[in-house]
Amino acid sequence: MLTGTFRLPADGLARALPAMSAMVAASRAEPGCIAYAYAQDLLDPTLIHVVER
């Protein structure tokens, strides 16, 4: 399992969503990928968590 975090500017999530959606689709299509997801931190909306299994 791979986990990580990154930050986006407060107004950056809307601009990043198309690229993030493309990354989710591409990763989930790879053989052996069980899950790939992003999550916005509830206490810090500029912090994005990413998980790949």
pLDDT of residue 27: 97
**Residue scoring higher pLDDT (23 or 11):** 23
Range of the domain at 47: 2-52
pLDDT of residue 41: 96
Mean predicted confidence (pLDDT) in 48-52: 98
Cβ count within 10 A of residue 48: 19
Give the model confidence (pLDDT) of 18-35 as tens digits.
999 999 999 999 999 999
**pLDDT value at 10 more than 90:** no
> β-strands 36-40, 47-52: how paired?
antiparallel
Percent of the chain whose predicted confidence (pLDDT) is above 90: 96
How many domains does the chain contain in total?
1
| Amino acid sitting at position 10 | A
